[in-house]
């Protein structure tokens, strides 16, 4: 069953070929056996998962019509609230915290019959690009356990790539779903800002954060995004009027070509943009993905992505300012000395660095923050203009394959590279789909992304399905998985 997709697994459960409890026990046993090598799960929830699986099986036995993902185990990132289950954002600061409510996405998943298998490791408060800032220690990439799985949703990527669960929730503030998917050979969706309720998501940078699905293929991702999406009166930023209907777009895309679809290719991304250097294997794989779309009938047009030299500075200024505001609620008392003691002991270096920089941006550097907000508006306007020319944009996710654990922690350039091609999507509030497209140095996975205009997830899913029907990169597994 570990080789089955989530949709295949649920179909087997609903038709009686497998039992929901049998499936839950098998994956929980695998987590217990394999997780010590990957450090993906920080808290498996065996008793609750088995109880939930029994309830799902009872509903099936009564003949209830169930969701196509019913009975499938799913991992939940540590910054997503789960009632009565420790939720620490992988930080010592929240050690022992038990939420009194479930996040909206957890409510929706459980209503659909998915089984939460446990909480998954992440960079502390979602601050990082490698999963090395976690209080619980780094997660490890199943393709090479000496390498990072990416961040901040690296634990989610490691869990799915390592076949500990078929599905996982991630959150994406500046590429934190897409970069781990690229490093671990997975598929993931960063939804449009406002498509998924953030109620119950611990905020990193609230105007950038968005939760999304991570899985092996686009069908599984689309099915989970259908469950997650939809309006929620508890989140004023959740502006979608109804959940996505992605099942129909998947069916419609089977055997369909890309005739008439205009795809933009930002050629300056491949020519040392941002002062970085793209690995040859990454460049070759991503350009080959563009040729695959051309072979399917799409029109590929090269263009120069504007404002690229400002993206990281704008992203870092805005995200750190919002981080400073978000973490203000975690103090340890009203007086400055108690706050200093609690934060000094409870937060790691990366969180402290971003918090302090954000506080500076909102005080003495307020003028710089205003400039960043203005530049963000220009970036968003540039995307709007581009989508007058193109239906979607195809770009790399990362300039290189997964790097070694420890290589990026003390190297700001390496860490910055994790946001090179992805952060502008968050600044503009746009959707993007990350897909595996080959292998680079040392046989490690390479990914690319398709970026669309706001709420164009159905079109992106259809395009992703066409690509995965023509290639087999999403079927490849780490040697040990």
Supply the residues annotated as catalytic: 77, 152, 176
CB atoms within 10 A of CB 97: 14
Residue showing tokens 């998962």? 49
d(C-alpha 372, C-alpha 369), whole Å = 5
Under a CB-based contact definition with an 8 Å cutoff, are residues 150 and 129 in contact?
yes
141 forms bridges with which residues in the sheet?
Answer: 144
Residue showing tokens 């009166």? 233
Residue showing tokens 């590429």? 175
Residues 6+ apart with CB under 8 A from 359: 324
Residues 6+ apart with CB under 8 A from 157: 139, 141, 149, 150, 168, 170, 180, 181, 183, 184, 186, 188, 214
- Extended beta strands in 64-190, E state: 73-77, 115-120, 167-172, 187-190
Strand, coil or helix: what is 288?
helix
**How many residues in total does the chain contain?**
481
DSSP label of 402? P
d(C-alpha 399, C-alpha 417), whole Å = 7
What is the bridge-based pairing of β-strands 299-303 and 210-215?
unpaired
């Amino acid at each position: 069953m570990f080789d089955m997709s989530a949709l295949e697994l649920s179909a087997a459960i609903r038709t009686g070929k497998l039992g929901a409890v049998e499936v839950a026990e098998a994956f929980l046993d695998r987590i217990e056996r394999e997780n010590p090598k990957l450090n993906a799960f920080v808290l498996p929830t065996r008793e609750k998962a088995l109880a939930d699986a029994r309830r799902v099986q009872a509903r099936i036995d009564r003949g209830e019509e169930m969701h196509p993902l019913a009975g499938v185990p799913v991992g939940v990132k540590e910054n997503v609230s789960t009632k009565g289950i420790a939720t620490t954002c992988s930080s010592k600061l929240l050690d022992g915290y038990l939420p009194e409510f479930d996040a909206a996405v957890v409510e929706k998943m459980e209503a659909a019959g998915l089984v939460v298998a446990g909480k998954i490791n992440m960079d502390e408060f979602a601050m990082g690009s490698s999963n090395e800032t976690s209080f619980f220690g780094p997660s490890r990439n199943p393709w090479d356990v000496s390498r990072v799985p990416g961040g901040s949703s690296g634990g989610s990527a490691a869990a799915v790539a390592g076949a500990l669960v078929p599905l996982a929730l991630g959150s994406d503030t500046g590429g934190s779903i897409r970069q781990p998917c690229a490093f671990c050979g997975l598929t993931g969706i960063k939804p449009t800002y406002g498509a998924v309720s953030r109620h119950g998501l611990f905020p990193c940078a609230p105007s950038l954060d968005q939760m999304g699905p991570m899985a092996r293929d686009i069908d599984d991702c689309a099915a989970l995004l259908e469950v997650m999406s939809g309006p929620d009166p508890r989140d004023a930023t959740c502006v979608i009027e109804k959940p996505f209907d992605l099942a129909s777009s998947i069916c419609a895309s089977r055997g369909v070509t890309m005739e008439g679809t205009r795809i933009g290719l930002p050629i300056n991304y491949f020519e040392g943009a941002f002062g970085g250097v793209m690995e040859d294997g990454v460049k070759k794989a991503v350009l080959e993905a563009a040729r695959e779309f051309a072979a399917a009938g799409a029109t590929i047009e090269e263009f120069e992505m504007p404002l690229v030299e400002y993206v990281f500075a704008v992203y870092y200024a805005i995200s750190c300012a919002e981080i400073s505001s978000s973490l203000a609620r975690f103090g340890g008392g009203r007086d400055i000395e108690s706050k200093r003691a609690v934060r000094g002991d409870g937060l790691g270096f990366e969180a402290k660095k971003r918090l302090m920089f954000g506080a500076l941006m909102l005080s003495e550097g307020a003028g710089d923050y205003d400039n960043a907000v203005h530049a963000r508006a220009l970036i968003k306007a540039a995307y709007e203009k581009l989508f007058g020319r193109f239906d979607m944009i195809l770009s790399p996710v990362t300039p290189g394959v997964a790097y070694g654990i420890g290589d990026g922690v003390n190297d700001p350039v390496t860490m910055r590279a994790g946001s090179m091609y992805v952060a502008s999507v968050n600044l503009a509030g746009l959707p993007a789909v990350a897909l595996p497209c080959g292998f680079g140095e040392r046989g490690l996975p390479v990914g690319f992304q398709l970026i669309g205009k706001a709420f164009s997830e159905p079109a992106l899913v259809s395009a992703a399905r066409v690509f995965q029907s023509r290639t087999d990169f999403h079927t490849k597994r780490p040697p040990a998985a």
